[in-house]
Structure 1
Amino acid sequence: MAKFLIFRTDRIGDFITSQVVTNSISEVSKKNQVDIVASRYNSKYIKNFKYINRIFIFDKTQNKILDFFNLFLQIKNRKYDYLIVLDGKRRSFLSGIFINSSIKICFLKDFYPKFLISFFYTKYLKNTETNTQYKNFQILLNYLDIKSPKYINYYKNYNFTKNKFKLHKPYVHLHLDEKWFKDYYFHDFDYMNLKPDSIYFFLKSLINKFKFNIIITQGFKKVKIMNEFKIKYFKNIKDPQIKIEKKTVRFIEQSSFRDLENIVLNSKFLICCEGAISHVSHSLNKKTIALIQKDRLISTNFWIGHMGNIKTVFRNDIKQVTKDILKLNLV
C-alpha cells in the first residue's frame, strides 16, 4: 500500500481532467490511499468520489499565513509515500516543502523555482502546452511506474446526485453560460452577440437540424440577456418551457454542477463553450460541440486534444456559429 497526497486546489474541471492520475493510482492497487488537498468549494464536489480517502481544506483568504497554518494543523502528524503538487500553484508548492513525504513531485506550468526544487523535491515535471494535458499526465504516471489506461471511466466510483428536473427525452443539452456573452468573460475573446430573438432563432435552427427537444442551462453568473429571453418567450416564468417546431424547449435557470452532470448524462449530445462541462461530457462519453477561440488553439488543444467525441466551432457572430454547427455530422 502506498499513501498519496495530491494538491488539486483549482477548479472542478481540473479535478475531473486529473482523474486519469488519481483514479489510476487507486485502480493499480485497491490498497493505495489517495488524499486530496482542495479548496472548500471543490471539496464538496470531490467528496462524491468513493475512492478518495480524505480531503484537506486549503482555502485562499486574505490571511495567507493563516491559510498555511490551517492546512498544517490538518496534516502535521501524517506521513506520505508520495506528495504530488498537481495544481501547479505556488502556495501548494511551498506548502509541500513542509509536509512529511518520502517522494515529492511538483507538476508545474508557469514557474520554475530551481533552487527550491533541487533542495526539497524529488522530481520536477513541466506541464507544458507542447503536449496535451492528458499526455503530460501520462508522463507523470510513467514516472510513478503506473500503466496509463487506454480508457478510464471517470465516473466509475462516483455518487451521482438524484435528478430533480423533468427532462424531455431525447434532448440536446445547450449550456448557455457566461462564456457566450460579452462583458461576462475574457475581454479579448470573440462573442456571439446574442439577443433574445437571436437565441430563439438559434434554437429553431438546432431543432430543424437535429429533430430533438432542447434543455437550456446557464452558468453560475446570471446574464441579463438570458433573463430578457425568458421574459419575452416563456409564459410560465416559474417553469420556463415552450414549443418550437413541435419540440419542447425547457430553460433550467438554477442548477448545481452536479445537476449539470445528470443533464449531460441523459442528453443525446452537448453544445457549449469549451470548459468544465465539456470535460464532463468527455468523461461520460457524450458527443459534444464546443465553441473555441480561434487565436487560442495551442491552449485549447492542451485541454481537449485527447478528446475523441468533441467537434469544435470557432467563436463568432451567432449567425456564423449557427451555420458552422449545422454543417457538422455527429454520426
Structure 2
Amino acid sequence: MKICIARLDKMGDMILTLPIIKSLKNEYPQSKIHILASETNAKVIKNTEYIDKLIIIKDNPAILFEELINIRKNNYDYFINFSPNFKGLILCCFSKSFKKATLIFKSRYKNKKISKILTILLCKIFCNYLFIVDRFNRIKNNQELHQTLMMFRLIEICKLKFSRDTLIDIRLPKEKYVFTKKKSIVIHLSAKWINSFYSEDNFIELIKLIIKKEYVILLTTDNSTKSVFKKIFNKFPLIYQFDENDLINIQSNVIIMDKLDYSSWNKAIYSSQKVITPECGCSHIAAANKIPASIIYDPNNFAEAIHKEYAPWKSEYKKFTFDQKNLNLELIRDL
C-alpha cells in the first residue's frame, strides 16, 4: 500500500501529525508512506525512520501546477490531506490517488452557515472521504477538538487501522549537551509575551526570579523578538548557535540564542530541564523532545479553545494564561 499525507503548514502542526503517520506505519509495516511538507515543517521530520519519502512543497503558487504534475506521477492508494490551506486541497483533489481524503476545519470564532462552503463542495466532488470539523459548535458543546484526534477521526472514516495511543517520535539529538553544573531552562522569546497583561519589565522580573533558583537561562528567539524585547537585547550576551564551547566560555546566567537554525534550537531544548513559552511551535518541540513545558496562553485569543485544539500530545506540560494572578510566581512554582 502506498500512502501520501499532506501537511503544509507549521512545525507544531507537523509534530501533532506524527502519531498518525507512525500509527499507520505500525499497522501497515510494508506500506510506503510519503509526506508532503512545507519548507518550514520539513525540518522536524528529516531522517524519520517511519517516513519513506519526504517531498517539500514550496510556498510559491506559481509552481503549483508543476508540483501537481510530479505528485500525479505517483499512483497512491490513499492521499490524505490534513493541510488547512488551498495548496494541500488542490494537490489532494487532483492527484491520481485511488482514495482521497481531506480534513476541513470551520471557524472557531463564528458560527457561519456558509463557512468553507466552496471548499466542502469541491471535496465532495473529488474526494472519497471528508471530515468537517465544526470548531465553533464543538467548543460551544464542549466536544473533543484536539488536532491529533481530529486527524485520527479522518483515518477512521477511511477505514484504516490505527492506535490513538501512539506517541510522538522524532529523531532526537545523540546526547544532551552539558555546559554548566546548574540546570538549564529554555525560554522562548516571542512577541506573544508582550500584551495588555504582561510587559517586558514583567519578563525581566521573571528572569531575576529564575536566576535565584540557580538556573542558567537560554533565551531563544524568532523573527518577532527584537522589536519587543529591546531591554533584553541590551542586557544579555548573544550567540547564534548551540555551541558547547561558546556556552562554557560565556560568564552569564542568561544567554540570548538568536535565530538558531532548527538543529541548534532542538539541541538547546533537548539539553534543558524545562521550557517556558507562550503557546506556539516551541511547546510542541519540547513535547517531541520529552522536556516538561510551562505554556502560557493569550486570554484575548480564545485561550481555552486554542488549548483544547493545540495542546501538546501526551506529554508533560502545565497551562497558564497571561491574565493569571501572580503569573511569574506561578511559573516559578512550576520549575
Question: Is the TM value for this pair above 0.5?
Answer: yes
Matches within 5 A, 1:43-62: 43-61=42-60
Cα distance change on mapping 1:95 and 1:266 into 2, 3 Å: same
Match of 2:98 among 97, 102, 112: 102
5+ long unaligned stretches in structure 2: 107-115, 139-144, 241-245
Match of 2:294 among 276, 286, 289: 289
Aligned partners of 2:156 and 2:125: how far apart in 1? Answer: 23
Aligned to 1:309: 316
Aligned to 1:278: 283
2:82, 2:151 within 8 Å by CA — same for their partners in 1? no
Letter of the structure 2 residue corresponding to residue 322 of structure 1: N
Aligned partners of 2:191 and 2:307: how far apart in 1? Answer: 18
Aligned to 1:39: 38
Letter of the structure 2 residue corresponding to residue 179 of structure 1: K
Match of 2:146 among 124, 132, 145: 132
2:218, 2:254 within 8 Å by CA — same for their partners in 1? yes
Match of 1:78 among 74, 77, 80: 74
Aligned partners of 1:200 and 1:193: how far apart in 2? Answer: 9
User: Which secondary structure state, in structure 1, belongs to the residue aligned with residue 49 of structure 2?
Assistant: coil
Report the alpha carbon displacement of residue 201 of structure 1 after superposing the two structures with TM.
2.7
Letter of the structure 1 residue corresponding to residue 163 of structure 2: S
> Over residues 59-83 of structure 1, what are the superposed CA-to-partner deviations in whole Å (9 max), with x where a residue is unaligned?
233xx3x322121232232100000
Name the Cα RMSD after superposition.
3.0
Letter of the structure 2 residue corresponding to residue 268 of structure 1: Q
2:189, 2:219 within 8 Å by CA — same for their partners in 1? yes
Aligned partners of 2:313 and 2:46: how far apart in 1? Answer: 26
Letter of the structure 1 residue corresponding to residue 56 of structure 2: I
Aligned to 1:323: 329
Residue 89 (1) aligns with residue 109 (2): no
Cα distance change on mapping 1:316 and 1:167 into 2, 3 Å: farther
Match of 2:161 among 146, 150, 154: 146
Matches within 5 A, 1:1-331: 2-61=1-60, 64=61, 66-110=62-106, 111-112=116-117, 113-129=119-135, 130=138, 131-143=145-157, 144-155=159-170, 158=171, 160=173, 166=179, 169-181=182-194, 190-195=196-201, 198-208=202-212, 210-234=213-237, 241=250, 243=252, 248-295=253-300, 296=302, 297-304=304-311, 306-316=313-323, 320-326=326-332, 328-329=333-334
1:132, 1:305 within 8 Å by CA — same for their partners in 2? no
2:80, 2:102 within 8 Å by CA — same for their partners in 1? yes
> Over residues 211-260 of structure 1, what are the superposed CA-to-partner deviations in whole Å (9 max), with x where a residue is unaligned?
332222112334145454233355x88969555xxxx3222223123322
Report the alpha carbon displacement of residue 20 of structure 1 after superposing the two structures with TM.
1.2
Aligned partners of 2:230 and 2:47: how far apart in 1? Answer: 32
Report the alpha carbon displacement of residue 305 of structure 1 after superposing the two structures with TM.
7.1
State the identity %: 18
Aligned partners of 2:287 and 2:122: how far apart in 1? Answer: 37
Report the alpha carbon displacement of residue 266 of structure 1 after superposing the two structures with TM.
1.6
The TM-score with structure 2 as length reference comes to 0.80
2:197, 2:323 within 8 Å by CA — same for their partners in 1? yes
The TM-score with structure 1 as length reference comes to 0.81
5+ long unaligned stretches in structure 1: 183-189
Letter of the structure 2 residue corresponding to residue 201 of structure 1: E
Aligned partners of 1:166 and 1:46: how far apart in 2? Answer: 27
Letter of the structure 2 residue corresponding to residue 146 of structure 1: K
Letter of the structure 2 residue corresponding to residue 52 of structure 1: I
Aligned partners of 1:305 and 1:287: how far apart in 2? Answer: 10
Cα distance change on mapping 1:211 and 1:146 into 2, 3 Å: farther
Query: How many residue pairs align between the two structures?
Result: 307
Aligned partners of 1:73 and 1:165: how far apart in 2? Answer: 48
Aligned to 2:110: none
Letter of the structure 1 residue corresponding to residue 185 of structure 2: V
User: Which secondary structure state, in structure 2, belongs to the residue aligned with residue 52 of structure 1?
Assistant: coil
Aligned partners of 1:162 and 1:268: how far apart in 2? Answer: 14
